[in-house]
Structure 1
């Protein structure tokens, strides 16, 4: 889909305030003759951007304001098949806020969120991706202060986040059973 100047203006306004009314957006978006757009015209454009997966409006969360901690796990993988397994296993984990293939020494980078450094350590040591087959080398970078973005998309408060999606089974995990780990369902 080709994005024109009006689409760019709409996206920019929604970036700054995702709750902006269609009428207000219409008043701020200018066509070539500097007339404002109708709210119906704005709605049509937003719908088209959403249908084409160019835009998604969602509620994002401030990690800093919740006093949550985060880290990046860098993984060097044995081969592409093992990489695909990790991606499949952790793409729906409620603790994962970013998962990306990268080029260079490492093959994957995974952003993880937790209520404290201790919880991040327990997650990494007990059920995190560093314990999986096919990992040649891993490195963990704890984030001291996440500056940009201020808000990130996290699905930690939904019923879906209460389920274990990574393939680990809390009910048979020693750390969970001993109380050392709370599991992923307690945010």
Structure 2
């Protein structure tokens, strides 16, 4: 377990305000040398902190779906979480306790695509799901920036969820933009 002291927390706070802040800027703000900030960051980057680009979901007009599901077996739960961890529309997966044992949050560019995802591509449409519930919403208020996966080279025939968008009836009827990782995708991501 990594233990953070007050200085570490101040460095993380600086990065949360501006992930592009230089070592010198953070050092000046915190009364530290840039070398001291660099050394502390080096330790924090070893498993505790990750600085990455997030996308403004509201500016992109994205909608979200929170999907709770009860998966039959621990093995199937592991298989499904591995499968959906590769999906560019999935940005959150957690195992849970209570009525459901997994929660997933996915994004889509419009209501039609979101409906298509919920019916065919999401975890709730998979073998081994006893029951599921989906809550659909607009872009989140907090956090404003989401860790949405961008796939720059859209060359795949089969999506990470093992669906072929080119053969999907919803895609053919223009009721889905397709998977952002495939050559069929016709959306902005």
Contact 1:93 1:161 in 2 (8 A): no
CA RMSD of aligned residues (A): 2.0
Q: CA deviation at 1:117?
A: 1.4
Given that residues 94 and 154 in structure 1 are in contact (C-alpha distance below 8 angstroms), is that contact kept between their aligned partners in structure 2? yes
Where does structure 2 lack aligned partners over 5 or more consecutive residues? 181-186
Partner SS, residue 166 of structure 1: coil
Q: Partner of 2:62 in structure 1? A: 68
| Structure 2 partner of 1:32 | none
Q: 1:175, CA displacement in angstroms?
A: 3.3
TM-score (norm 1): 0.87
Q: Which residue of 2 aligns with 1:130?
A: 124
1:111 to 80, 97, 105: 105
Q: Distance in 2 between matches of 1:43 and 1:160?
A: 36
Classify the secondary structure of the residue corresponding to 2:142.
coil
Contact 1:94–1:161, Cα closer than 8 Å, also in 2: no
Are 2:69 and 2:132, in contact at CA under 8 Å, matched by a contact in 1?
yes
Contact 2:165 2:178 (C-alpha < 8 Å) held by counterparts: yes
Separation in 2 of the partners of 1:26 and 1:111? 37
For residues 166 and 126 of structure 1, the distance between their equivalents in structure 2, rounded to whole angstroms, comes to: 10
TM-score w.r.t. length of structure 2: 0.86
Do 1:75 and 1:109's aligned partners in 2 also have CA atoms closer than 8 Å? yes
SS of equivalent residue, structure 2 residue 37: helix
SS in 1 for 2:105: strand
Instruction: Tell me if structure 1 keeps the 8 A contact 2:71–2:101.
Output: yes
CA-CA distance at 1:26 after TM superposition: 0.2
How many aligned residue pairs are there? Answer: 180
Structure 1 residue runs of 5 or longer lacking an equivalent are 30-35
Q: Rate the CA distance shift 1:119–1:155 in 2: closer, same or farther, 3 A.
A: same
Instruction: Tell me which residue corresponds to 2:20.
Output: 19
SS in 2 for 1:159: coil
SS of match in other structure, 2:70: strand
Corresponding residue number in structure 2 for 1:159: 153
Looking at structure 2, the residues matched to 147 and 83 of structure 1 have their Cα atoms a distance apart, in angstroms, of 30
